[in-house]
Chain A
Amino acid sequence: MLRTLVYLDADLASSIALRYACQLTQVIDMKLHAVHVEEPDHDGHAPGTGWVRRTWESAMLKTGEFEIAQLIKAEKSSCPMLGAPKMLVGDRENEILREIQRESYDLFVEGSLHSFTAKKLYDKIHSRLYRHIPCPVIVVKNLVNLEKIALIVRDEIESKKLVSMFLKIFSGAKLNLDLIYCEFQEPGKLSSKGKADVNGTLNAFEKILIEQNWHPEDCRKIQGAPEEIGDVLRDYGMVASPLHHSISKKSNWFQLLSHIPSPILIFWQ
């Protein structure tokens, strides 16, 4: 069973992430755990030491606990299986990272609303948490129905590793899968080529997936500008993609990820 950690704050992004994560439990054999980190102040420092610090932290946790309990209560109808969240005090990124390492979670889910500018996603991908996270991450940008997922492939070299990461999460899942190969071009020339025109990379991925009993419904190459391809991919309930931490903000690949309004599953390379 997949052990998944979902991060919760008392905000809309978390509310959406929680509802989406609960949808995931319907199609993937997974157990959902929730965590919330109460940050002492903007610098991450708590006042005082000893009793003063403990009393102060406990008061902070109580406030946080109340807000998160309200959020979970509001989503209870769509997510009845979620237990009490783990409440931590400290620096948000450090605490989440420690929690993931301590409990060896297989997947991390958090909400981050889709943004017109790419900065928010870029900062997230280059954050300390994402640079050191040992498991794949789902960034939930919007609440969508999880009926069909797209696996974006880049080159043949990474195919085996990517497919094995994909299978680790989706083994036994009842979902429709499309394999997508993206070729970036100038805006205004969007086109999609079906199976007959696919290149070697798609064939290689399809072959490995079929060997593992996964039969992609569609394999296609999409040509276009990142924003155009991102718009096409909005029809999917999830877009899974490999990603290097060193990705630059101006790269087409990053621009594509930032333009996809659906939740994205990031497999770190």
Chain B
Amino acid sequence: MRILVAVDQHPYSAHAVKDVAKLAGNTWADVTLVGVGPKVTDIGQPSNKAGKKHPLTEELRNYRRNFLDHFEKAESPYEKRECNYEFVEVKRGVWEELYVCRGARKDLKILLRSGNPVKEILAQSQEDDSDLIAMGCYKAGDCQWEGAVNLPQKVANSAACSVLVIKEEKKIRKIACCLDQENISQKSVEMINQMVTLYQTELEIVGLTDGTKLKPMVEKNLNAILKYYNARQIKAWIKLVDAVSLASFISQEARRSMMALWMGEHSLLSKMFPRGKVDKLIQGSESSVLLLR
């Protein structure tokens, strides 16, 4: 699993890093922390006339420290253990003595990019082939980021992978995940599993009906998912929601639960929230939102 955490200088980013550290501790994910800032030619030089260095460099260092602090040094999969000079074959027949640090079982990359934040975050997720993009956001109203209005919504609209928008310091009581597809990937189910573990919360699996009953295949999936979570001692509730009541259900539930939505190709949810319109969902939600793709 590879997680991309997009950060800026606001407290919600520190909170997102903290949550992702917990998630990474459970999943042993490769993690990239990326900040997007103004263009600089030399990162070591002051970036403005006031003599200040690039505003994000120090923040990114702090986030790295906070991320690593979550792990016991001896057990951390991100800890570089031994650093020595070693001869390494750099091309055929040519060996170079390099200072090599070995031991980190998982990758923690800290990156600073410059340019349009949305484009840069999406570009990094493509380069990394990320499974999940995580971003922080204020819990009330629209998600204001440094210099970019509604950035999390824009990233969520366009990302090819799953997106987790972590609302700042909101205690999650329940994860409500909406299911109306016939094909739910194991990866998505595992992702929900991880979220339940991360937030130590209950799970509500929402089945969408056509007003009378569930599609047979969806019902079969619900049963399988319920058994999967029960076997892992995860308390899972089932709730049926008519497709016509879905909007009012989501607006009501998003006030108190983290919403996890499967946005598959044939999903009613993806029709309801097509690319370009999930911003409404994120904006209206006081809790974190997970879009599974």
List residues of chain A with CB under 8 Å of any chain B CB: 11-12, 15-16, 113-117, 120, 141-144, 234, 261
In the complex, A114→B240 CA distance in Å? 6
Q: Is the CB of B207 within 8 A of A113?
A: yes
In terms of DSSP, what is the predominant structure of the interface of chain B?
Answer: mixed
A188 CA / B133 CA spacing, docked (Å): 35
User: Would you call B237 an interface residue if the criterion is a C-beta within 8 Å of the partner chain's C-beta atoms?
Assistant: yes
Q: A116 vs B251: C-alpha distance in the bound complex, in angstroms?
A: 13
Kindly supply a per-residue 1/0 record for chain B positions 228-241, scoring 1 wherever the CB is within 8 Å of any chain A CB and 0 otherwise. 00100001011111
User: Is B219 part of the contact surface with A, judged by Cβ < 8 Å?
Assistant: yes
Q: Is the CB–CB distance between B237 and A261 below 8 Å?
A: yes
B-side contacts of A234, CB under 8 Å: 237
Q: Can you list 25 pairs linking A and B with CB atoms under 8 Å apart?
A: A11-B219, A12-B214, A12-B222, A12-B238, A15-B223, A16-B226, A16-B238, A113-B207, A113-B239, A113-B240, A114-B239, A114-B240, A115-B239, A116-B239, A116-B240, A116-B241, A116-B245, A116-B249, A117-B242, A120-B240, A142-B237, A143-B226, A143-B230, A144-B235, A234-B237
Give min CB distance, B80 to chain A, whole Å: 45
Contacts of A115 in B (CB 8 A): 239-241
Q: What does the 1/0 interface line of B208-228 toward A look like (CB < 8 Å)?
A: 000000100001001100100
Contact A12 B219, beta carbon cutoff 8 Å: yes
The residues of A that contact B245 with a CB separation of less than 8 Å are: 116-117
Q: Report the tally of A-B residue pairs with Cβ distances under 8 A.
A: 40
Do A261 and B239 form a contact, CB below 8 Å, given A12-B223, A143-B226? yes
A144 CA to B214 CA, complexed, in Å: 21
CB-CB nearest 6 A-B residue pairs:
A116-B241, A115-B240, A12-B223, A12-B219, A116-B249, A114-B239
User: In the complex, A15→B238 CA distance in Å?
Assistant: 13
Nearest B residue to A11 via CB reads B219
Q: Say how far B91's CB is from chain A's closest CB, in angstroms.
A: 60
What residues of chain A lie closer than 8 Å to B239, measured between beta carbons? 113-116, 261
Docked CA distance A117–B245 (Å): 8
Residues of B within 8 A of A15 (CB): 223
Shortest CB–CB separation between residue B69 and chain A, in angstroms? Answer: 35
Chain B: interface residue total (CB-CB under 8 A):
16
B267 to chain A, nearest CB (A): 18
Residues of chain A contacted by B237 (CB below 8 angstroms)? 114, 142, 234, 261
In the assembled complex, the Cα of A234 lies from the Cα of B219 at a distance in Å of 23
Whether the pair B238, A114 counts as a contact (CB closer than 8 A) is yes
CB distance from B200 to the nearest CB of A (A): 15
What 18 new A-B contacts, CB under 8 Å, besides A12-B219, A114-B238, A114-B240?
Answer: A11-B219, A12-B223, A12-B238, A16-B238, A114-B237, A115-B240, A116-B240, A116-B242, A116-B245, A116-B249, A117-B242, A117-B245, A120-B240, A141-B238, A143-B226, A144-B235, A234-B237, A261-B237
Residues of A within 8 A of B226 (CB): 12, 16, 143
| Shortest Cβ distance from A262 into B: residue | B237
Are the CB atoms of B238 and A113 closer together than 8 Å? yes
| A115, A120, A144, A261: most-surrounded residue (chain B CB, <10 A) | A115
| Chain A residues within 8 Å of B222, by CB | 12
Distance from A268 Cβ to chain B, minimum over Cβ atoms (Å):
25
Assembled-state Cα–Cα distance A16/B225 (Å): 13
B242 and A142 contact, CB distance less than 8 A: no
Give the one of B219, B235, B238 with max A CB within 10 A: B238
For the complex formed, measure the closest distance between the CB of A143 and the CB atoms of chain B, giving whole angstroms. Answer: 7
Cα A242 to Cα B226 with chains together (Å): 30
A15 to B245, CA, bound (A): 26
Chain B residues in 8 Å Cβ range of A16:
226, 238
Q: Are B219 and A142 in contact (CB under 8 A)?
A: no
**Contacting residues, chain B, for A11 (C-beta < 8 A):** 219
Q: A12-B223, A15-B223 are in contact. Are A142 and B249 (CB under 8 A)?
A: no
Bound Cα distance A269, B152 (Å): 54
B152 CB → nearest A CB, Å: 27
- Which A residues touch B230, using CB under 8 A? 143
Complex Cα distance, B132 from A250, in Å, reads 44
**Assembled-state Cα–Cα distance A115/B214 (Å):** 12
Residue of B nearest to A112 (CB): B240
Chain B residue nearest to A142 (CB atoms) is: B237
The distance in angstroms between the C-alpha atoms of A141 and B226, with both chains bound, is 13
* Bound CA–CA A261/B230 (angstroms): 16
How long is the Cα–Cα vector from A141 to B237 in the complex, in angstroms? 9
Chain B residues near A117: list those with CB within 8 A.
241-242, 245
Residue of B nearest to A19 (CB): B230
- Residues of B with C-beta under 8 A to A143: 226, 230
Q: How far is the CA of A12 from the CA of B221 in the complex (A)?
A: 10
B241 and A142 contact, CB distance less than 8 A = no
* Shortest distance from the beta carbon of B207 to any chain A beta carbon, whole Å: 7
- CB-CB under 8 A from A261, the residues of chain B are 237, 239
- For window 5-27 of B, CB contacts with A under 8 Å fall at none
